[in-house]
């Protein structure tokens, strides 16, 4: 398994962990303690765990081999980033347009919606980028054998 | 739909070249071993410069390493 695969695995696990903990925390607040949805939404603070993804290049040091990164790695990286941002863009447009269609041009929405678009976007990009990267390299380290 | 295929003889040429390892070829061609593995498995089509570097590593012409099969296009009038 090369460094890019390790980073992708780490980012995927951290991203899913952040989502999982957020959903669990929200569910406990909302269903177990009967808190209003707005208060229970504080559980989504666990999304902040995604910040650990920024540590992945430090945690996984460069391989000792002569060549670290080649044209195939570049192609995979481009494909993963391109795919992730293409989907992000579609969702971003949907997130911006759907409320406008539903509540109309004179409606109002809470500004809390804006950071949620940012965090949601980060989540989607990180998740899809990791999945496409692992899909291209292979989910296991078979290629190393 | 048109399906072009790029086959290669890298694996065979490695063994003919004194059982050259994937790592040795990777070092000569300036790529990672995983890229050599992916090419041998037909999962990755190299760029033209890389194809030339690999051919030179074996001391043969590029067409002895790579075979391009183009399926005929169906003409739409």
| Residue A69 at interface with chain B, using a CB cutoff of 8 Å | yes
For residue range A43-69, list pLDDT tens digits in order. Answer: 888 988 999 999 988 888 877 777 888
Closest C-alpha among A48, A53, A54, A60 to residue A11:
A53
Contact assignment for B32 to A71 by CB distance below 8 Å: no
Structure pTM? 0.83
Would you list the domain boundaries of chain B? 5-65
ipTM of the complex model = 0.81
CATH of the structural domain B5-65, one choice from 1.10.1380.10, 3.90.1150.10, 1.10.260.40, 3.50.50.60 = 1.10.260.40
Contact assignment for A72 to B38 by CB distance below 8 Å: yes
| Residue A62 at interface with chain B, using a CB cutoff of 8 Å | no
* Better-scored residue on pLDDT, A13 or A112: A13
Reported as type and span, the H/E element at residue B36 is helix B33-40
The average confidence (pLDDT) of chain A is 90
Q: Is residue B23 predicted with pLDDT exceeding 70?
A: yes
- Give CA–CA dist A82/A86, Å, rounded: 6
Would you list the domain boundaries of chain A? 3-61+70-140
Percent of chain A with pLDDT over 70: 97
Band of pLDDT at residue A116, cut at 50, 70 and 90: confident
Task: Establish, for the pair of chains A and B, how many residue pairs have beta carbons separated by less than 8 Å.
Answer: 38
């Amino acid at each position: 398994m090369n460094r890019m695969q390790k980073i992708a695995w780490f980012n995927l696990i951290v991203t899913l962990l952040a989502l999982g903990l957020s959903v669990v925390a929200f569910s406990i607040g909302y269903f177990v303690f009967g808190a209003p949805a707005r208060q229970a939404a504080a559980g989504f603070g666990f999304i902040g765990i995604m910040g650990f993804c920024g540590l992945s290049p430090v945690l996984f040091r460069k391989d000792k081999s002569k060549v670290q990164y080649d044209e195939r790695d570049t192609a995979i990286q481009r494909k993963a980033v391109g795919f992730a941002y293409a989907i992000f863009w579609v969702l971003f447009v949907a997130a911006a347009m759907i409320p406008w269609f539903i509540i109309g041009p004179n409606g109002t929405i809470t500004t809390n919606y804006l950071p949620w678009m940012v965090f949601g976007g980060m989540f989607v990009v990180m998740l899809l980028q990791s999945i496409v990267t692992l899909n291209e390299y292979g989910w296991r380290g078979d290629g190393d054998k | 739909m048109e399906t072009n295929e790029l086959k290669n003889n890298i694996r065979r040429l490695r063994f003919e070249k004194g059982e050259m390892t994937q790592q040795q070829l990777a070092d000569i061609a300036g790529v990672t071993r995983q890229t050599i593995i992916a090419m041998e498995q037909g999962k990755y089509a190299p760029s033209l410069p890389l194809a030339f570097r690999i051919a030179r590593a074996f001391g043969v012409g590029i067409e002895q390493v790579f075979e391009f099969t183009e399926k005929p296009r169906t003409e739409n009038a």
